[in-house]
Chains A and B, each alone.
Chain A
């Protein structure tokens, strides 16, 4: 409880930088969540469980000597299939948005138990060669794993944005989200597109998971630690928009980091959740 202490310019700049890095991960985690909520009308809490499962798989493969980024070659298709299968089941039972929240929470509990059974509740940290390649730029410490996360988050967000905006598939997806009956009347194969999108969303979750493994210590209970702040980023950005989670994530990340530097780390959650409350109160239509 030190109250306000003005940090030095370097410390502040370092905080902003680390805020950008962690914000990029918020954005990457939020990307798939926002797409599935906005375009499929499903709130997938299991998104976080998938990310952690991917992170643990990446960790396991790294233990066996596989480079974390190479492990993406196996992890991404695997999670694409898992996501598509989950969505097929949800469509089969005609799950409402609210029930999808409860159902995927149940799934999260199962995945958490699975992780805990295989890898125990202990903290695990992936030791990769990337962690050793850190450098200083203009007096600021730049960790390579976080830089990789930022690069992946930015490039994937732009890729999704371009697909949604310029391709027929993207236009079809947006049309289905707006009015599925009319879209279907125009010959859009909604079912196939939805499965494709759901698969993509969980593939994005798994990529975020690999980034998570690169930069953070893993524990099964940590799954829940990310939910609140990532939801805040998703809602702040607006649903179903590709670039919004990244921008909102970085805004939240930076404001958290500065809050931590100026006051105490324990105040950080106040920033994201107050932002979330304010958005929900003033722009409730964003989520509707």
Chain B
């Protein structure tokens, strides 16, 4: 198949676009190693301190970005975790006479534990996003600061570290701090890069775009956010531990402020939050800028300048400096990377099931119910889905069809009843576990991840729902599903470049890429033109033929009659009828439900 060859070559091109796997980390390490020779130049101590501050902000901004930039959960509590590191280190040194270097791992651990405790509570509450998350984390900063200032940890007078010896890592004390910060920055950038290109990173970026859809596609959103926060806090804790001795005298008033979070937000937004190196670019720019103003005794002008830059960045470069530069660079090299020829693997059938084995029960829902504050959307239905069939789910608007899909896929928690899939109870399980068990779904209104390419949208489902370990392998798998759905030419486009018909097919490709045994299709045909409907009907048939069982909600009767083996009809949240489509639709109670009571009122009047 010619198309397939071209398409897969594009998938390889997408991989080729990422430079070979080890180039970036090697570059980071090489840059770190080269910069380690700066103290040997014997520059005045003041340069060491300036460089230290740049590296210090690189660590803080990059670590902040691992949670907040990647997932979009903008934390204003980075000062709390940084401060936890500072006070842990300071207390261990001043009170217990610990040697400085030994306090750093403890500082990281304390900040990390604090982050996990906060995250474990906050991430459990749905709806805490955006401004609310920002304010909540900021409040944590002030609560922690108040507690520390009022307890013997600080006692209100600050902690002096004048008596603590500075280890001799560099030739001078200032170069020692510089080298420590250099190690921390190198480590932080490596971690940020490794996360960005890993499965973890793919999950975090998906959370940024649409957390619910990510969860339904198999991303363990709660655990991933917690892991990102833990790493972010541990790195901030290290930065704090080093900074404690650098400051030599720490006070709550200077540590637990709004300044630290706002500075890192500014740096990251300026540099670009969706790139691992964005915050570092922003940190270098802002630190140098601030420094050039303070050095010339124009601190006030510097403050105003920061404000102007922040406003300009939000208005004119909402994606940040780095993505803007990347786009310019790509335009200069020509839009698309050159295609590389490769083999054309079309999706192969899952081994465990095929269209031939129709019959056995795949999924059994019993008494499945859902109420929203007393409104019964689904009042206890029994539905059986048999392996290898196409089951139509019919009913007038508001009859509970979509609710049924939302319950089975785990988007909603049922208020009653059970769902048994291949012998396992699914009711009450998290959506990502249901996805991994082998059930996938589409949304009636397509919900693609807006900031990722069409290919990566599908790769995410292959990675999480389908259990593929690496992004590269997932992209290969995804490409064959794009061929299956006829979207291979759009692989490297953003979803906003697709029309409705293509978006619906993207939903299908995403649902299939995890190789589910059961696919739930929620009105895939709605809004399509007649010829597009014919394409889609053929596609649904192919989905079943390649081995998945299909449940589909649909209003287009032509498609229902053409496709379904069986239908069930819902009305007012209850099961009204079940059987062959042509036969069921002729039953009077079904016609009533769909067409109203016109016959009755007429006969009543007669």
A interface with B by C-beta (< 8 Å): 1, 43, 93, 95, 97-99, 101-103, 105-110, 112-114, 116-117, 224, 227-228, 231-232, 235, 264, 266-267, 269-270, 273-274, 276-277, 280-281, 284-285, 287-288
Give the interface segment out of B132-140, B450-458, B464-472: B132-140
Specify the chain B residue showing the minimal Cβ separation from A282. Answer: B125
On whether the beta carbons of A113 and B301 are closer than 8 Å, the reply is yes
Q: How far is the CA of A104 from the CA of B145 in the complex (A)?
A: 25
- Residues of chain A within 8 A (CB-CB) of B269 are 102
Interface residue from B131, B135, B307, B310 paired with A97 (Cβ < 8 Å): B131
- Residues of chain A within 8 A (CB-CB) of B122 are 281
On whether the beta carbons of A109 and B128 are closer than 8 Å, the reply is no
Q: Is the C-beta of B300 less than 8 angstroms from some C-beta in chain A?
A: yes
Tell me whether A106 and B308 are in contact in the complex, defined as CB-CB below 8 angstroms, given that A99-B318, A113-B300, A281-B121 are known contacts: yes
Specify the chain B residue showing the minimal Cβ separation from A224. Answer: B258
Within 8 A of A (CB), among B66-88: 74
Give the interface segment out of B92-100, B149-157, B160-168: B149-157
Q: Is the C-beta of B143 less than 8 angstroms from some C-beta in chain A?
A: yes
- Residues of chain B within 8 A (CB-CB) of A101 are 131, 134
- Residues of chain B within 8 A (CB-CB) of A103 are 310-311, 314-315
Specify the chain B residue showing the minimal Cβ separation from A37. Answer: B131
On whether the beta carbons of A266 and B156 are closer than 8 Å, the reply is yes
On whether the beta carbons of B132 and A98 are closer than 8 Å, the reply is no
Number of A-B contacts (CB under 8 A): 116
Q: Smallest Cβ distance from A93 to chain B, in angstroms? A: 5
Q: Is the C-beta of B117 less than 8 angstroms from some C-beta in chain A?
A: no
Q: Is the C-beta of B306 less than 8 angstroms from some C-beta in chain A?
A: yes
Q: Smallest Cβ distance from B531 to chain A, in angstroms? A: 31
Which one of B127, B135, B269, B309 has the greatest number of beta carbons of chain A within 10 Å? Answer: B135
Interface residue from B135, B136, B303 paired with A109 (Cβ < 8 Å): B303
On whether the beta carbons of A99 and B314 are closer than 8 Å, the reply is yes
- Residues of chain B within 8 A (CB-CB) of A228 are 138-139, 142, 258
Q: Could you list 9 A-B pairs, sorted by A, with CB under 8 Å?
A: A102-B310, A106-B307, A106-B308, A112-B303, A113-B303, A224-B258, A231-B135, A273-B142, A276-B135
Q: How far is the CA of A12 from the CA of B196 in the complex (A)?
A: 56
On whether the beta carbons of B125 and A281 are closer than 8 Å, the reply is yes
On whether the beta carbons of B307 and A109 are closer than 8 Å, the reply is yes
Q: Is the C-beta of B147 less than 8 angstroms from some C-beta in chain A?
A: yes
Tell me whether A116 and B300 are in contact in the complex, defined as CB-CB below 8 angstroms, given that A266-B149, A273-B143 are known contacts: yes
On whether the beta carbons of B314 and A106 are closer than 8 Å, the reply is yes
- Residues of chain B within 8 A (CB-CB) of A227 are 258
On whether the beta carbons of B132 and A288 are closer than 8 Å, the reply is yes
On whether the beta carbons of B143 and A280 are closer than 8 Å, the reply is no
Q: How far is the CA of A152 from the CA of B265 in the complex (A)?
A: 37
Q: Smallest Cβ distance from B2 to chain A, in angstroms? A: 44
- Residues of chain B within 8 A (CB-CB) of A109 are 303-304, 306-307, 310
- Residues of chain A within 8 A (CB-CB) of B303 are 109-110, 112-113, 116
Q: Is the C-beta of B191 less than 8 angstroms from some C-beta in chain A?
A: no
On whether the beta carbons of A270 and B143 are closer than 8 Å, the reply is yes
Q: How far is the CA of A110 from the CA of B305 in the complex (A)?
A: 7
Tell me whether A264 and B150 are in contact in the complex, defined as CB-CB below 8 angstroms, given that A113-B301, A117-B300, A285-B127 are known contacts: yes
- Residues of chain A within 8 A (CB-CB) of B265 are 102
Which 4 A-B residue pairs are closest in the complex by CB-CB distance? A109-B307, A106-B310, A113-B304, A110-B307
- Residues of chain B within 8 A (CB-CB) of A43 are 131
- Residues of chain B within 8 A (CB-CB) of A97 are 130-131
Q: Smallest Cβ distance from A92 to chain B, in angstroms? A: 9
- Residues of chain B within 8 A (CB-CB) of A116 are 300, 303
Interface residue from B127, B143, B150, B314 paired with A284 (Cβ < 8 Å): B127
- Residues of chain A within 8 A (CB-CB) of B300 are 113, 116-117
Q: Smallest Cβ distance from B249 to chain A, in angstroms? A: 19
Within 8 A of A (CB), among B159-180: none
Q: How far is the CA of A101 from the CA of B307 in the complex (A)?
A: 12
On whether the beta carbons of A284 and B128 are closer than 8 Å, the reply is yes
Which one of B127, B139, B258, B266 has the greatest number of beta carbons of chain A within 10 Å? Answer: B139
Q: How far is the CA of A276 from the CA of B138 in the complex (A)?
A: 10
Q: How far is the CA of A287 from the CA of B132 in the complex (A)?
A: 7
On whether the beta carbons of B306 and A93 are closer than 8 Å, the reply is no
Q: Is the C-beta of B262 less than 8 angstroms from some C-beta in chain A?
A: yes
On whether the beta carbons of B130 and A98 are closer than 8 Å, the reply is yes
Q: How far is the CA of A277 from the CA of B141 in the complex (A)?
A: 11
Q: Smallest Cβ distance from A17 to chain B, in angstroms? A: 24
Tell me whether A280 and B262 are in contact in the complex, defined as CB-CB below 8 angstroms, given that A103-B311, A113-B301, A266-B149 are known contacts: no
Specify the chain B residue showing the minimal Cβ separation from A284. Answer: B127
- Residues of chain B within 8 A (CB-CB) of A107 are 307, 311
Interface residue from B132, B139, B156, B311 paired with A273 (Cβ < 8 Å): B139
Q: How far is the CA of A274 from the CA of B139 in the complex (A)?
A: 8
Tell me whether A105 and B127 are in contact in the complex, defined as CB-CB below 8 angstroms, given that A113-B301, A284-B132, A288-B132 are known contacts: no
Q: How far is the CA of A99 from the CA of B131 in the complex (A)?
A: 10
Q: Is the C-beta of B146 less than 8 angstroms from some C-beta in chain A?
A: yes
Specify the chain A residue showing the minimal Cβ separation from B145. Answer: A269
Tell me whether A288 and B127 are in contact in the complex, defined as CB-CB below 8 angstroms, given that A108-B307, A110-B307 are known contacts: yes
Tell me whether A106 and B130 are in contact in the complex, defined as CB-CB below 8 angstroms, given that A231-B135, A266-B149, A266-B156 are known contacts: no
On whether the beta carbons of A105 and B262 are closer than 8 Å, the reply is yes
Tell me whether A287 and B131 are in contact in the complex, defined as CB-CB below 8 angstroms, given that A1-B155, A109-B310 are known contacts: yes
On whether the beta carbons of B142 and A105 are closer than 8 Å, the reply is no
- Residues of chain B within 8 A (CB-CB) of A267 are 146, 150
Please give 18 more A-B residue pairs, beta carbons under 8 A apart, in addition to A102-B265, A224-B258, A281-B136.
Answer: A98-B74, A98-B130, A109-B307, A110-B308, A113-B300, A116-B303, A228-B142, A266-B150, A269-B142, A270-B146, A273-B143, A273-B146, A276-B135, A276-B139, A277-B140, A277-B143, A281-B125, A284-B127
- Residues of chain A within 8 A (CB-CB) of B311 are 103, 106-107
Specify the chain B residue showing the minimal Cβ separation from A90. Answer: B315
Specify the chain B residue showing the minimal Cβ separation from A41. Answer: B131
Specify the chain B residue showing the minimal Cβ separation from A113. Answer: B304
Interface string of B39-50 (1 = CB under 8 A from A): 000000000000
On whether the beta carbons of B139 and A270 are closer than 8 Å, the reply is no
Interface string of B97-128 (1 = CB under 8 A from A): 00000000000000000000000011001111
Q: How far is the CA of A105 from the CA of B300 in the complex (A)?
A: 16
- Residues of chain A within 8 A (CB-CB) of B301 are 113
